[in-house]
């Protein structure tokens, strides 16, 4: 039996010296040392040995097992080391390579102009109010002194959703909503930025959807001069300290008196050029004193309270401020256009 054990050892070590991967190694472990392996097979014959021989052969069996196991363990370690080396080589990263720059987003120029305007008015103590883009006929027209069949409703061609719901044609309904929600409280000092919709054919200066910023102040003893001073302060911060304003009489159903407001042309400084059609002035907004009927419908007694309101187009102001000649540039989302407004 001793010879058989020695022969088994030689055979196993010879075979083990040939293995080249962990799978083969495991096969050999089963073959020689497994429960039904060759070693067990030989040792099963120990029963027929004499009491003296048995411990001697048992000893040899253990030595053979130990020798085979030792080789298997060292092979295993070697395979593991090779595998680690292979993975390290495969996953190697060159930390000295220059990084790939990530494209950075930026605030859209229209939002940037809105933010700038908000900052200016917040600095004057205003709060920001918002209202829905799908508006009721009541808030878009009725509460602004434009009763049904009022001829001034023709001034704005509207997108109707139902007979009573439409896409708001201006941000003025937020005035009416704000008065309603303040329930007679004063002062009201809000600006309302947002999208508005009109049935215009899109061209260089018109868009069926654009942005407005509305302003509303209601309190005691609010006068036309307050409107004028507020707007002068606004345009000086927006377009530069030398900017002047000019008020021209106008008409809106919700303000009385109403004005149209011009600013010094920022292209020529008032000398006259192509942009201002040689007048030196650019029209940028409409406004006036809140009509007594609008105050009343909003829950404010016109005998006790007064207010002013104004509204302006964000795109128009952005176009004038940045010399953009086509309103559609704001909506095409051409990166070459947008990137020029990125602030770092």
Q: Closer to ligand PHE by CB, 12 or 261: give it.
A: 261
By CB under 6 A, tell whether 309 contacts ligand PHE.
Answer: yes
By CB under 6 A, tell whether 310 contacts ligand PHE.
Answer: yes
Q: What is the C-alpha to C-alpha distance for residues 262 and 204, in angstroms, rounded to an integer?
A: 21
Q: What is the C-alpha to C-alpha distance for residues 148 and 252, in angstroms, rounded to an integer?
A: 16
Q: Closer to ligand PHE by CB, 76 or 250: give it.
A: 250
Stretch that binds ligand PHE, among 5-13, 73-81, 285-293, 298-306 (CB under 6 A): 285-293
Q: Closer to ligand PHE by CB, 39 or 216: give it.
A: 216
Q: What is the C-alpha to C-alpha distance for residues 233 and 235, in angstroms, rounded to an integer?
A: 6
Name the token pair of 31: 């073959």
What are the residues facing 297 on neighbouring strands?
none
Q: Closer to ligand PHE by CB, 39 or 245: give it.
A: 245
Q: What is the C-alpha to C-alpha distance for residues 334 and 216, in angstroms, rounded to an integer?
A: 35
CA distances from 327 to 52, 158, 203, 323 (A): 108, 20, 8, 11
By CB under 6 A, tell whether 253 contacts ligand PHE.
Answer: no
CB of 309 to ligand PHE, least distance (A): 4
CB of 287 to ligand PHE, least distance (A): 5
Name the token pair of 63: 């030595």
Q: Which residues lie below 8 Å from residue 242, measured CB to CB, with a gap of 6+?
A: 236, 264, 269
By CB under 6 A, tell whether 287 contacts ligand PHE.
Answer: yes
By CB under 6 A, tell whether 234 contacts ligand PHE.
Answer: no
Q: Which of 243, 255, 264, 306 binds ligand PHE (CB under 6 A)?
A: 255
Do residues 133 and 170 touch, judged by C-beta distance below 8 A?
A: no
**Number of residues forming the site for ligand PHE (CB under 6 A):** 11
Q: Which residues lie below 8 Å from residue 191, measured CB to CB, with a gap of 6+?
A: 117, 118, 121, 126, 127, 128, 129, 213, 214, 215, 216
Which x/- pattern, by CB under 6 A, does the window 3-42 give for ligand PHE? ----------------------------------------
From the list 180, 208, 177, the residue with the least C-alpha distance to 195 is: 208
By CB under 6 A, tell whether 252 contacts ligand PHE.
Answer: yes
By CB under 6 A, tell whether 126 contacts ligand PHE.
Answer: no
Name the token pair of 326: 């086509």
Q: Which of 37, 145, 311, 314 binds ligand PHE (CB under 6 A)?
A: 311
By CB under 6 A, tell whether 286 contacts ligand PHE.
Answer: yes
For residues 150-209, which are near ligand PHE according to CB under 6 A? 170, 172
In this structure, the strands spanning 165-167 and 188-197 are unpaired
* Binding site residues, ligand PHE, CB under 6 A: 170, 172, 214, 252, 255, 286-288, 309-311
């Amino acid at each position: 039996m001793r010879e058989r054990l020695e022969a088994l050892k030689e055979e196993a070590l010879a075979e083990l010296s040939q293995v080249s991967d962990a799978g083969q190694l495991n096969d050999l472990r089963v073959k020689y040392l497994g429960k039904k392996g060759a070693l067990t097979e030989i040792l099963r014959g120990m029963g027929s040995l004499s009491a003296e021989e048995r411990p001697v052969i048992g000893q040899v069996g253990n030595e053979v097992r130990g020798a085979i196991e030792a080789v298997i363990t060292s092979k295993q370690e070697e395979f593991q080391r090779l595998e680690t080396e292979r993975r390290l080589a495969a996953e190697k990263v060159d930390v000295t390579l220059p990084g790939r720059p990530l494209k950075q987003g930026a605030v859209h120029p229209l939002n940037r102009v809105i933010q700038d305007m908000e900052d200016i008015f917040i600095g004057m103590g205003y709060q920001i109010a918002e209202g829905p883009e799908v508006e009721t006929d009541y808030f878009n027209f009725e509460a602004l002194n434009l009763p049904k069949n009022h001829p001034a409703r023709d001034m704005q061609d509207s997108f109707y959703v139902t007979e009573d719901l439409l896409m708001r044609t201006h941000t003025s309904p937020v005035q009416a909503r704000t008065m309603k929600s303040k329930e007679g409280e004063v002062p009201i000092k809000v600006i309302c930025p947002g999208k508005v919709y009109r049935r215009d054919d899109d061209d260089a200066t018109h868009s069926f959807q654009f942005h407005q910023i509305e302003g509303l102040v209601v309190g005691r003893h609010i006068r036309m001069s307050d409107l004028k001073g507020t707007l002068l302060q606004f345009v000086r911060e927006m377009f530069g300290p030398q900017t002047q304003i000019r008020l021209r009489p106008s008409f809106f159903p919700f303000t009385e008196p109403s004005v149209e407001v011009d600013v010094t042309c920022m292209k020529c400084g008032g000398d006259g050029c192509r942009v201002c059609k040689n007048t030196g002035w650019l029209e940028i907004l409409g406004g006036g004193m809140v009509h007594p009927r609008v105050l009343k419908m909003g829950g404010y007694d016109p005998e006790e309270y007064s207010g002013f309101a104004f509204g302006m187009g964000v795109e128009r102001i952005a176009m004038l401020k940045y010399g953009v000649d086509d309103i559609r540039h704001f909506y095409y989302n051409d990166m070459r256009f947008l990137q020029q407004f990125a602030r770092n």
